[in-house]
């Protein structure tokens, strides 16, 4: 059965114009629903998001210092098919613009076959094969879908945008199980996936250099596990994630960067309370990294620590207030970065941490169109991309950011 | 329509001033009342889970109902048929009553869970229809279908009740 469906032209300038008109709230917005056929066995969903970024210092998602940056856009379309009750096929293509980190390249976000192996009232066990969204914390799976995010951007300490590609999805296999346990349900996922690492943004982040003509190869598939417990009434949700990435930098023929092996092992604890109006969320994560250069040089070991606390308050049915504090330190043995600055002549201590106070407002114009405004007061620069800020000496320690966003989804 | 300019207020008599204060109070309480009503769930009577007569499962637990309407179950456990879920819009009074009284969750939590599945490729969205009549007709004519209706809209010649254990 076909449904009414408001659509927007894909042409960027007219898309922007429509969003601007919508921002003035004078345009009647038709509620769009998903497109589905054959009793929901074929479904089409998608989203368009346009953001606006202004920073007092430093660049985030494009050239935004003292200017209004429009270089933040997210588009996605997904299709799912269910030929048999036990088998679902689904795929999503996305395109994202975020300064020099993402420049609109079409990206196959996931393409998977989901097979139910066992199914009764208390348990479901299944397997997914193909390109699958990574499991990491509460938000990674839908991090590019603005309506599912708690704010304009996710808390950067845990959901780093500068090295986002390898956090998105991987090619491999996921085993999943959902079990009824006393007081609630347990959602268990096990993954083994090959993660894409060779985009410039990830290479720059993992190697620390802008000039990396070589390749990052995975030593092995990345194993991961996520366990989430949710109470019966869905008020409380809490869980644990662990991943272990091991990769090797293979220098090109003429390469200033030496070969190295990089091991990254993040874990994260998540806890969320969802009431009718109030949602409280906190996640705490540590990431153990090991850099192995040559046998003669001792291993470099660093543990970084990232966390946030966040409150969302829906004070009216269509209005939501956001308050968040997030905190990131690159090295728990050197939280204020002073040792690093003292031992690296061209480095600055504030490039090793960030503390961000965030306040924001969400207005749901319809059930499929929303507007957002958000203010960040940041101390530190460690989650800024070097691609947008090529000269680290020009980074200002304290900076503010104002963001606006309009998003449509169906 | 009284004016609210400061200059005119000074020139007006006590009575007029009192009137104006009262009208301000009325406005404020009207606004507070509107605010209050927006927060209250619209009243809806008893809501029951219904299924297509082809569904052989005799009854379901509340937790299993949450899994079915949370779109985590693709297959009926007894007969292996496809599960097809019909729901009303998020702000529909019957949907709200169903979520709160039958599932004991908030409509927003259901929406968050559906969106998370739909945009990560791990589950489909339910089929949303506009009216209770449409729920009745679609569930009646779709094998494996499940939905919910307020008590007075249920026609047991077309659909069967799926009791919660």
Does A19 fall in a domain? yes
Note whether A131 and A112 are within 8 A (CB): yes
Asked if A148 lies within 8 A of B115 by C-beta distance, the reply is yes
Asked if B63 lies within 8 A of A86 by C-beta distance, the reply is no
pLDDT tens for each residue of B91-131: 999 999 999 999 999 999 999 999 999 999 999 999 999 99
Q: How confident is the model at residue A33 (pLDDT cuts 50, 70, 90)?
A: low
* Radius of gyration for the alpha carbons in chain B, expressed in angstroms and rounded: 24
CA-based nearest residue in chain A for residue B78: A120
Residue A346, helix vs strand vs coil: coil
CATH number of the domain at A57, please: 2.40.160.10
Name the one residue in this structure whose structure tokens are 């009750």. A85
Q: How far is B100 from chain A (nearest CA, A)?
A: 9
If one compares A376 and A120, the residue with the highest pLDDT of the two is: A376
Asked if A120 lies within 8 A of B66 by C-beta distance, the reply is no
Residues of B in contact with A43 (CB under 8 A): 118, 124-125
pLDDT tens for each residue of A210-249: 777 888 888 889 999 999 999 999 999 999 999 999 888 8
Q: How far is CA B69 from CA A93, A150, B110, in A?
A: 27, 24, 8
Does A331 fall in a domain? yes
Q: How far is B43 from chain A (nearest CA, A)?
A: 16
Helix (H), strand (E) at residue A8: none
* Radius of gyration for the alpha carbons in chain A, expressed in angstroms and rounded: 22
Instruction: Indicate if the pLDDT at residue B13 is higher than 50.
Output: no
Instruction: Indicate if the pLDDT at residue A9 is higher than 50.
Output: no
Instruction: List the Cα angle A289/A201/A348 in 5-degree steps.
Output: 65
Does A4 fall in a domain? no
pLDDT tens for each residue of A311-327: 999 999 999 999 999 99
- Domain containing A269 equals 12-409
Does A247 fall in a domain? yes
Instruction: Indicate if the pLDDT at residue B63 is higher than 90.
Output: yes
Instruction: Indicate if the pLDDT at residue A1 is higher than 50.
Output: no
Which has the minimum average pLDDT: A287-301, A367-381, A390-404? A287-301
The pairing of strands B145-150 and B84-87 is parallel
At A351, give phi and psi (nearest 5°).
Answer: -80, 0
CA-based nearest residue in chain A for residue B108: A276
Residues of B in contact with A148 (CB under 8 A): 112, 115-116, 119
Distance between CA atoms of A218 and A166, rounded to whole angstroms?
11
A43: nearest CB among B82, B113, B125: B125
Residue B89 confidence (pLDDT): 95
Q: Give one DSSP letter per residue of A49-93, joined into a string.
A: EEEEEEESSS-SSSS-BTS-EEEEEEEEEEEEEEEETTEEEEEEE
Q: Give Cα A366 to chain centroid, integer Å.
A: 25
Does A2 fall in a domain? no
Q: Which of residues 7-66 of B touch A (CB under 8 A)?
A: 35, 38-39, 60-64, 66
Asked if A142 lies within 8 A of B119 by C-beta distance, the reply is yes
Instruction: Indicate if the pLDDT at residue A84 is higher than 80.
Output: yes
Residue A114 confidence (pLDDT): 97
Residue A4 confidence (pLDDT): 40
Distance between CA atoms of B126 and B123, rounded to whole angstroms?
10
Percent of chain A with pLDDT over 90: 71
Residues in a beta bridge with A184? A181, A231
Which has the minimum average pLDDT: A136-140, A158-162, A306-310, A382-386? A158-162
Question: What would the mean pLDDT of A26-49 be, rounded to a whole number?
Answer: 77
Interface size, chain A vs chain B, as Cβ–Cβ contacts under 8 Å: 129
List chain B domain ranges.
Answer: 6-39, 47-161
Does A99 fall in a domain? yes
pLDDT tens for each residue of A319-366: 999 999 999 999 999 999 999 999 988 889 999 999 999 999 999 999
Say how many C-beta atoms besides its own lie within 10 A of residue A83's C-beta.
Answer: 11
Distance between CA atoms of A406 and A372, rounded to whole angstroms?
6
Residue B31 confidence (pLDDT): 56
Residue B33 confidence (pLDDT): 55
Class of domain B47-161: alpha beta
Name the one residue in this structure whose structure tokens are 């066992």. A118
- Helices (H), ranges, A301-362: 338-343
What are the strands, taking DSSP E only, across A221-330? Answer: 222-231, 236-243, 245-250, 260-274, 278-292, 300-316, 319-329
Residue A286 confidence (pLDDT): 97
pLDDT tens for each residue of A14-30: 444 444 444 444 343 44
Asked if B82 lies within 8 A of A85 by C-beta distance, the reply is yes
Residue A399, helix vs strand vs coil: strand
Q: How confident is the model at residue B71 (pLDDT cuts 50, 70, 90)?
A: very high
Instruction: List the Cα angle A353/A289/A294 in 5-degree steps.
Output: 120
- Best mutation target, B122, B125, B145, B162, to test chain A (most A CBs within 10 A): B122
Q: What mean pLDDT value characterizes chain B? A: 82
If one compares A377 and B41, the residue with the highest pLDDT of the two is: A377
Question: What would the mean pLDDT of A28-42 be, rounded to a whole number?
Answer: 73
Q: Which of residues 378-407 of A touch B (CB under 8 A)?
A: none
Residue A247 confidence (pLDDT): 85
Question: What would the mean pLDDT of A53-65 be, rounded to a whole number?
Answer: 96
Which has the minimum average pLDDT: A282-291, B73-82, B100-109? B73-82
What residues contact A11, with CB distance under 8 A and at least 6 apart? none
Asked if A314 lies within 8 A of B108 by C-beta distance, the reply is yes
Instruction: List the Cα angle A35/A170/A79 in 5-degree steps.
Output: 10
Q: How confident is the model at residue B7 (pLDDT cuts 50, 70, 90)?
A: very low
Residue B87 confidence (pLDDT): 97
Q: What mean pLDDT value characterizes chain A? A: 89
Say how many C-beta atoms besides its own lie within 10 A of residue B28's C-beta.
Answer: 10
Tell me if chain B has a CB within 8 Å of the CB of A120: yes
Which has the minimum average pLDDT: A205-209, B50-54, B116-120, B130-134? A205-209
Residues of A in contact with B83 (CB under 8 A): 85
Q: Give me the number of domains chain A comprises.
A: 1
Residues of A in contact with B115 (CB under 8 A): 142, 145, 147-148
What are the strands, taking DSSP E only, across A123-221? Answer: 123-133, 169-181, 184-194, 215-218
Does A150 fall in a domain? yes
pLDDT tens for each residue of A252-276: 888 877 788 889 999 999 999 999 9
Asked if A80 lies within 8 A of B61 by C-beta distance, the reply is no
Q: How far is CA B46 from CA A116, A223, A273, B100, in A?
A: 34, 48, 28, 11
Asked if A116 lies within 8 A of B74 by C-beta distance, the reply is yes
Note whether B162 and B49 are within 8 A (CB): yes
DSSP structural state of residue A296: T
Does A178 fall in a domain? yes
Residue A166 confidence (pLDDT): 77
Instruction: Indicate if the pLDDT at residue B23 is higher than 60.
Output: no
SS (H, E, C) chain B: CCCCCHHHHHHCCHHHHHHHHHHHHHHHHHHHHHHHHHHCCCCCCCEEEEECCCCCCCCECHHHHHHHHCCCCCECCCCCCECEEEECCCCCHHHHHHHHHHHCCCHHHHHHHHHHHHCCCCCCCCEECCCHHHHHHHHHHCCCEEEEEEHHHCCCCCCEECCEC
Instruction: Indicate if the pLDDT at residue A2 is higher than 80.
Output: no
């Amino acid at each position: 059965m076909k449904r009414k469906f408001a659509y927007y032209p894909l042409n960027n300038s007219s898309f922007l114009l429509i969003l601007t008109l919508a921002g003035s709230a004078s345009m009647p917005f038709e509620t769009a629903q998903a497109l589905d056929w054959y009793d929901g066995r074929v479904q089409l969903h998608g989203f368009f998001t346009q953001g606006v970024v202004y920073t007092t210092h430093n660049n985030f998602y494009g050239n935004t210092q003292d200017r209004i940056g429009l270089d933040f856009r997210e588009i996605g379309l997904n299709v799912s098919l269910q030929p048999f009750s036990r088998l679902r096929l689904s795929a999503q293509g996305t395109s994202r613009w975020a300064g020099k980190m993402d420049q609109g390249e079409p990206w196959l976000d996931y393409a998977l076959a989901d097979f139910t192996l066992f199914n009764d009232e208390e348990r479901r066990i299944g397997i997914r094969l193909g390109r699958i969204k990574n499991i990491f914390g509460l938000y990674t799976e839908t991090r590019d879908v603005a309506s599912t995010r708690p704010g304009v951007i996710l808390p950067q300490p845990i959901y780093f945008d500068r090295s986002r590609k390898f956090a998105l999805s991987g090619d491999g296999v996921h085993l999943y199980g959902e079990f009824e346990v006393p007081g609630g349900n347990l959602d268990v996922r096990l993954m083994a996936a090959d993660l894409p690492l060779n985009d410039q943004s990830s290479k720059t982040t993992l190697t620390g250099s802008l000039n990396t003509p070589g390749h990052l190869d995975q030593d092995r598939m990345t194993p991961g596990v996520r366990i989430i417990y949710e109470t019966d009434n869905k008020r409380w949700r809490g869980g644990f994630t662990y991943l272990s990435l091991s990769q090797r930098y293979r220098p090109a023929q003429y390469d200033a960067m030496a070969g190295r092996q990089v091991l990254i092992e993040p874990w994260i604890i998540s806890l969320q309370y969802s009431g009718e109006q109030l949602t409280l969320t906190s996640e705490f994560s540590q990431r153990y990294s090991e850099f192995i250069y040559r046998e003669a040089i001792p291993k470099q070991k660093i543990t970084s620590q990232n966390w946030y606390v966040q409150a969302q308050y829906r004070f009216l049915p269509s209005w939501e207030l956001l308050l968040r504090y997030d905190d990131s330190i690159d090295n728990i043995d050197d939280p204020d970065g002073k040792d690093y600055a003292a031992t690296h002549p061209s480095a600055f201590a504030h490039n090793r941490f960030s503390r961000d106070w965030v306040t924001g407002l969400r207005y749901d114009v319809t059930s499929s169109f929303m507007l957002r405004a958000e203010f960040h007061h940041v101390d530190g620069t460690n989650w800024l991309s070097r691609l947008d800020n090529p000269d680290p000496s020009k980074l200002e320690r304290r900076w503010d950011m104002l963001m606006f966003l309009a998003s449509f989804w169906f | 329509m009284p004016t609210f300019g400061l200059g005119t207020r000074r020139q007006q008599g006590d009575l007029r001033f009192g009137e104006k204060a009262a009208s301000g109070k009325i406005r404020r309480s009207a606004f507070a009342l509107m605010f209050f009503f927006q927060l209250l769930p619209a009243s809806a009577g008893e809501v029951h889970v219904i299924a297509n007569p082809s569904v052989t499962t005799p009854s379901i637990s509340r937790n299993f109902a949450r899994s079915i309407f949370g779109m985590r179950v693709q297959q009926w456990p007894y007969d292996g048929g496809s599960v097809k879920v019909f729901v009303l819009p998020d702000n529909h009074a019957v949907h709200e009553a169903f979520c709160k009284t039958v599932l004991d969750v908030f409509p927003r939590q259901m929406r968050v869970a559906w969106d998370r599945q739909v945009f990560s490729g791990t589950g489909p969205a339910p089929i949303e229809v506009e009216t209770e009549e449409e729920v009745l007709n679609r569930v009646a004519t779709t094998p494996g279908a499940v939905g919910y209706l307020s008590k007075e809209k249920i026609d047991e010649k077309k659909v069967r009740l799926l009791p919660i254990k």
